[in-house]
Chains A and B, each alone.
Chain A
Amino acid sequence: SAVISQKPSRDICQRGTSLTIQCQVDSQVTMMFWYRQQPGQSLTLIATANQGSEATYESGFVIDKFPISRPNLTFSTLTVSNMSPEDSSIYLCSVEGGSEQYFGPGTRLTVT
């Protein structure tokens, strides 16, 4: 199993600013995933982050808006840039392990 922590757990930000979300895993993992869950919606995959290579973004998500870092096998960051109210969501970090996906507790972002 994997235990995932995220910081911050929640934040309220002004439009036009940026927020960096941290994800820490208690074991080394090859692939880390970032998801977004908009209010009342399902989870949407933003990108897949492998250590040592650039993140792979899903359709509708771009690196300029959601830059991702993956400096080692236990850590990743997701930045939400130039925020607008439409970015208000829960952002979740996830890892794969033993044919199961583990999810962090999420970061609840509100943009005013």
Chain B
Amino acid sequence: AQSVAQPEDQVNVAEGNPLTVKCTYSVSGNPYLFWYVQYPNRGLQFLLKYITGDNLVKGSYGFEAEFNKSQTSFHLKKPSALVSDSALYFCVAGINKFYFGSGTKLNVKP
């Protein structure tokens, strides 16, 4: 079965510290990989995507993600977290049909 795993329901970091939100996937072929963010009572916002090329992808708001084919992982990272980054983050994988991870709630404390 195709699936995307986000092993952490919640990640807590202090403002200014680096953050990592983990994602692994089990989707056949060479799926496209995405990160989306959802703020309370708002729609999904695109952060970044990987299709091919450089394993380190840079996206919106200073976020980046590292693709690792051997580990089938696509972890989201940011060098210095902001309180305003606190939100729900979804990892997505697929081609034509897309599979969502369960989501990770990021809490950035001042």
Contact between B34 and A101 (Cβ–Cβ < 8 Å)? yes
The prevalent SS among residues of B at the interface is: strand
Contact between A42 and B49 (Cβ–Cβ < 8 Å)? no
Q: How large is the interface on B (under 10, 10 to 19, 20 to 34, 35 or more residues)?
A: 10 to 19
Q: Which B residues are CB-close (under 8 A) to A53?
A: none
Q: Which A residues are CB-close (under 8 A) to B92?
A: 101
Contact between A43 and B90 (Cβ–Cβ < 8 Å)? yes
Contact between B43 and A106 (Cβ–Cβ < 8 Å)? yes
- Measured CB to CB, the nearest residue on chain A to B90 is A42
A99 to B51, CA, bound (A): 8
The prevalent SS among residues of A at the interface is: strand
A48 to B90, CA, bound (A): 20
Q: Which A residues are CB-close (under 8 A) to B44?
A: 43, 92, 103
Q: Which A residues are CB-close (under 8 A) to B101?
A: 42
Tell me the B29-83 residues at the A interface (CB within 8 Å). 32, 34, 36, 42-44, 46, 49, 51
Determine whether A67 belongs to the interface, using a CB cutoff of 8 Å to chain B. Answer: no
Contact between A45 and B51 (Cβ–Cβ < 8 Å)? no
Q: Which A residues are CB-close (under 8 A) to B97?
A: 45, 48
A61 to B36, CA, bound (A): 25
Interface digits, A73-112 against B, CB 8 Å rule (1 contact, 0 not)?
0000000000000000000100010011111111000000
A105 to B97, CA, bound (A): 20
With A42-B90, A103-B44, A105-B43 known to touch, is A96 a contact of B96 (CB < 8 Å)?
Answer: yes
Q: Which B residues are CB-close (under 8 A) to A48?
A: 97
Determine whether A63 belongs to the interface, using a CB cutoff of 8 Å to chain B. Answer: no
Determine whether B102 belongs to the interface, using a CB cutoff of 8 Å to chain A. Answer: yes
List residues of chain B with CB under 8 Å of any chain A CB.
32, 34, 36, 42-44, 46, 49, 51, 90, 92, 96-103
List residues of chain A with CB under 8 Å of any chain B CB.
31, 33, 41-45, 48, 92, 96, 99-106
- The 8 A-B pairs of least Cβ separation, nearest first, read A103-B44, A105-B43, A43-B100, A42-B102, A42-B100, A42-B103, A99-B51, A103-B43
